[in-house]
Structure 1
Amino acid sequence: MPMVATLASVAALLRAEAERIARKAADDIHRELPGYASIGRDDLAGSAWLNVARGMSSLEEGEAPRDVPDGEARRTTRRRIRQGMAIEDIIRAYRISLNAIHDRFIEVARERSLPAESTLRGSTLLWEVGDWFVADAVKEYRTHAVSEVVRRSVEEVDVLRTLLSGSSVDPTLRPRVRALGMDPDRDHHVVLGHPTSGSREQWAADLARYGSTPGAAALVAEISGRTAALVTRIPREIAGRGVLAVGPAAPLRDLGTSAVAAEHILALVPGEIPGLHDPSTVSWRLAIPVTPLATRLLRRRYVEPLMDEGDFGVILLDTVQAHLEHDRVVRATARALVIHQNTLRHRLARFEELTGCSLESTNTIVELSWVLATRRDTGTLDVRPGITGEERPLP
C-alpha cells in the first residue's frame, strides 16, 4: 500500500531542494527589484535558504513562527537597511522568495498527491510565515528609523556647533557634512532666529526647505534655545513669520565669522517684530556689539541723566527716539506721538537741559542714534541683551 503524503513528508522533499529553490528566488529578486542589484547572488541565496528552512519548519510543526525579539526576520531586515534597501523593497523581496517556495510546494503537493485539505493548510501556513516576516520587518524598521532620527539629530547639532565655533575644519568634518546632504565646497550663510507666529517645528522645517538648493541641503538645529542654520539660499519666504538674522556668505572654514555677524545682528533687532536682517540692513549698527566701551560712555551721557526723572525720563527718551525716526520733523513726530507740537518742543528742550546736549548738533544725533539702537524696547531705559559685551570698568 503506497504511503500517504503528509505536510511533513512534502516539507522533507522541499528541504532537499532548498539550495535550488533559494537560487531561483535570488534570481527572481534580481530580475524584479533593480535596487537589489548591489547585493550579491550568494548573499540573496543565503537569505532565501533561511526562508525555505523557516517555511519547512512551519509545515512540519503545523504553525507559523512566533515573535522573537531579535530573530531571523529582524536580523535580515537590519542587514538590508544597512545595505541601503528601502523597507518596501525588503518586504517585496521576501514576498518574491516566498512565492518561489510556495510555487514549488504546490508542485510537489500535486506530484505526491497531498490531500487537498493538507495542501490548503500548507499554503495557508506559508502565507502566515510571510505575515510573520512582514510584521517583524516593520518593527525592526521602525526601531531603526527612530534610532536613525535620534542619531542624525545629534550629528546635526554637533556639526553645526563645530562650524559655528570657528574651529579649523578637520579633514573628518567634510565627509560628515556631505553625509548630511550639504555641499562642503559651497559658501553658506549662518542664520539665527526664531518664529514670531506658528510653531518652532514648522519654522525649522520651512527654514530647511527654503534655505536649501539642489545638491546643497540646509542644516538646521536648535542650539541654546534658538534656531540656527547653515543655508546656501536666504529663506526670504519665511521672513514674515519670524526674526531672521543672516550672516555673510562664507566657506566652511570661515563660518565662525558669519556666525559672529549673525549674533550681533540678532542682538540689535527687535525680537518680537518679524523681518529679515543682514549686514546691509543693520549697517553701522554692527559696530555696537563689538564696542561696549562706547555704548557705556554714551549711556552715561544720554540715559543716566534721565533716571532720576522716573517714568518721565522714559517718556523723554521715547520722544527723542520718535523725533529721530521722523527725521526731526516736529509736525510728523507730534502726529506720531499724538501730542501737541508745543508739548513735543517742551519735551525736547527738557531732554537737552538734563543731558547738556543740543539736538541740533550732528555729533549728538550720531551718538543718540547709537545709544538708542541699544535699547531693549521703547518704554524702558534698559539695554538690549547681548549689546554691551563683557563688562569692564570705565577708565
Structure 2
Amino acid sequence: MLVQSGAAASLERVITAMAAKEGHVGGRLHADLADHIPSYRAVPRELLDQIWHRHFQRALAVVREGTVPLPDDFEEADVARDRVARGVPLSDGLRAFRRGLSAIRDLFIAEATERGLDPGLIVDRTKCLWELADVASLQIAAVHRQAEVASALFDARRRADFLRGLLYGTLSVAEIHSGAAIYGLDLSRPYRAIRAVPSGNVSPDALERCLESHGRRNGRAALLTVLDEAVAGVIEAKPEIGDPEVTAGLGPPTDLAAVHRSFPAAGRLLEAARAYGLRGIYDLSDLSWRVAVVAEPELAELLIDRYLRPLEAEGGFGALIEESVRGYLERGRHIREVARSAHVHVNTVR
C-alpha cells in the first residue's frame, strides 16, 4: 500500500510509540511464556530478551515498509539449535513465537487507533504482520527440524564413539564414568558385551532398537549402536525376544570398565553361531565346544582326522555310519526316530 507523506509521518509516530514500549511488552510476554509454556522456563531471560528484540525490530520494519522478508532472510538457525539443545519442542517454539507476534500486532493496533492512523493503513499493516507470522513460522519450523536432525546425528556419533572406546578398551576411567552418567549405565552392575547381525530382512538400525528395547526391560540397562554393519554394545542380561531374526554372541559378564574383555568373546560366539547357521542369541554355555572348532582350524582338522576320515576306509558301510550319526544328532538323539527314517531295526542303528 502506497503511503502518502502525511500518513507516513503518522505511521512513524506509531512506530516510535511502539518502540518505547518494547521492554514493557517483552516483560509481560516473558511472564506469559513462563506460565503457559513450561519448556521455556529453561531458556535464560537474557536470551529471550535478545530474540524478542530481534523479532520486535523486524516487525517494526514490516510496519514501516509494508513488505514481508523472504524466508531466507530470517536468521533463526542459532535459536533453533539452542531450543533443541534445551529440549524445547518445535510446537512450543512456534507457540512462543506466535504469542510474541500477537503481542506486537495488538500493540500496533492499539497505538495506531489511539493516534488516528488511517483505517485502511491499519488493515494493510495488520495483514502484513499476519503474513510475517506465517512466513516466519514456516522458516522456524524448517530450521528447527534441521537442528533436530543435526543434533540426533551428533548424539548418534557421540554414542557410537563412546561404545567403540568402551568395547575396544581405549577410554580413560573419567571418560567411562562420564559416559555411564550420560547413558544411564550403573557402574556397580556387571555388563555383557553383545555383537549381533540380522539373519532376516531386519535392518541393523531396527535390530539395534529391538535389542535395546528388550534389554532395558525390568529395570535393566542396555546401550547399543551399529558398528561396522553389526549391532554392538553392552547389556545386563540376555534379551528374551521370542523368534528373533538375529544371530548374536553374548560375552561373559564383567565390570563396565573391563567390558572390552567381554567383547572379543561376543565376537567369537557370533562367528561360531553363524558358522552353524544358528539364529538367536548365544553365550558360551549354549555353544560350548562349537566355539573352539570354529575359532581353531587345527582343532577342527584334528577332530575330522579322528572321527570322520577313518570312516572313508569302510566304504559304503562308513558312509552309512556317518549318515546314521548325523541323523541321530539331528533328531535329538532319539534312536527310534532314526531307525524309522532309515527303515531299519532299532538294534541295527545301535
> TM > 0.5 between the two?
yes
Q: Which amino acid aligns with 2:105?
A: H
Rounded to whole Å, the distance in 1 between the matches of 2:134 and 2:317 is 78
Q: Report what 2:213 is aligned to.
A: 209
Report the counterpart of residue 95 of structure 1 in structure 2. Answer: 98
Task: Please name the residue that 1:365 is paired with.
Answer: none
Closer/same/farther in 2, CA of residues 328 and 61 from structure 1, 3 Å limit: closer
Q: Which amino acid aligns with 1:265?
A: L
Q: Find out whether 1:187 has 2:190 as its counterpart.
A: yes
Distance in 2, matches of 1:94 and 1:313, equals 84
Q: 1:331 to 1:121 in 2, by over 3 A?
A: same
Q: 1:272 to 1:12 in 2, by over 3 A?
A: farther
User: Quick one: percent identity of the two aligned structures?
Assistant: 26
Normalising by structure 2, we get a TM-score of 0.82
How far the C-alpha of 1:293 sits from its partner, in A, is 4.3
Deviation, structure 1 residue 342: 7.2
Q: Report SS of the residue matched to 1:46.
A: helix
RMSD: 3.4
Q: Which residue of 2 aligns with 1:18?
A: 22
Question: What is the SS of the residue equivalent to 2:173?
Answer: coil
305-314 vs 197-206, which moves further: 305-314
Checking the alignment, whether the CA contact within 8 Å between 2:238 and 2:281 is kept in structure 1 is no
> Which letter maps to 1:320?
V
Structure 1 residue 25 displacement after superposition: 2.0
Q: Which residue of 2 aligns with 1:139?
A: 142
Q: How does 1:208-247 map to 2 (within 5 A)?
A: 208-213=212-217, 218-247=222-251
SS at match of 2:197: strand
Query: 2:62 corresponds to which residue?
Result: 58
SS in 2 for 1:222: strand
Determine if the alignment matches structure 1 residue 178 to structure 2 residue 178.
Answer: no
Change (3 A) 1:95 1:19: same
Paired residues, what number? 342
Is the 1:210–1:233 contact (alpha carbons within 8 Å) kept by the matching residues of 2?
no
Equivalence for 1:282: 287
Please tell me the residue identity of whatever aligns with 1:80: R
Match of 1:113 among 86, 103, 116: 116
CA distance in 1, matches of 2:13, 2:277: 77
How far apart are the structure 1 equivalents of 2:160 and 2:315? Answer: 45
**Greater share of residues in helix:** 2
Residue 355 of structure 1 aligns with which residue? none
Shift of 1:236: 0.7
Does the 8 A contact of 2:208 with 2:231 survive in 1? Answer: yes
Give 3-state SS (helix, strand or coil) of 2:304's partner: helix
Distance 1:324 1:190 in 2: 31
- Residue aligning to 1:373: none
- Shift of the 285–146 alpha-carbon distance from structure 1 to 2, 3 Å rule, reads same
Pair 1:164 & 2:167 matched: yes
Cα shift at 1:55: 0.3
> CA offsets, 1:259-312, max 9 Å, x none?
233223223335644333223323454555565543332233334556899999
* Amino acid paired to 1:301: R
Within 1, Cα distance between the matches of 2:197 and 2:206?
11
Worse-superposed segment, 172-181 or 108-117: 172-181
CA contact (8 A) 2:272 2:290 kept: yes
Structure 2 portions without partners, runs of 5+: 1-5
* Correspondences of 1:314-393 after superposition (within 5 Å): 317-324=322-329, 330-335=335-340, 338-341=341-344
- The verdict on how the C-alpha distance between 1:262 and 1:75 changes in structure 2, with shifts beyond 3 A counting, is closer
User: Would you say the 8 A contact 1:26–1:97 is kept in 2?
Assistant: no
Q: Distance in 1 between matches of 2:60 and 2:12?
A: 8
Give the whole-Å Cα distance in 1 for the aligned partners of 2:26 and 2:127.
Answer: 20
Change (3 A) 1:329 1:74: closer
Q: What does 1:235-274 align with in structure 2 at a 5 Å threshold? A: 235-269=239-273, 272-274=277-279
Q: CA 1:167 to 1:343, structure 2 compared with 1: closer, same or farther past 3 Å? A: farther
3-state DSSP of counterpart to 2:141:
helix
CA contact (8 A) 2:335 2:346 kept: no
Instruction: Say if 2:71 and 2:136, in contact at 8 Å, map to a contact too.
Output: no
Pick closer, same or farther for the CA change 1:310–1:7 going to 2, 3 Å: farther
User: What is residue 3 of structure 2 aligned with on the other side?
Assistant: none
Conserved? CA contact 2:248–2:269, under 8 Å: no
Q: Which amino acid aligns with 1:20?
A: H
User: Does the 8 Å contact 2:273/2:279 carry over to 1?
Assistant: no
8 A contact 1:6–1:118 mirrored in 2 = no
Contact 2:37 2:92 in 1 (8 A): yes
SS across alignment from 1:341 = coil
Checking the alignment, whether the CA contact within 8 Å between 2:336 and 2:346 is kept in structure 1 is no
Deviates more, 1:136-145 or 1:224-233: 224-233
Letter in 1 for 2:210: D
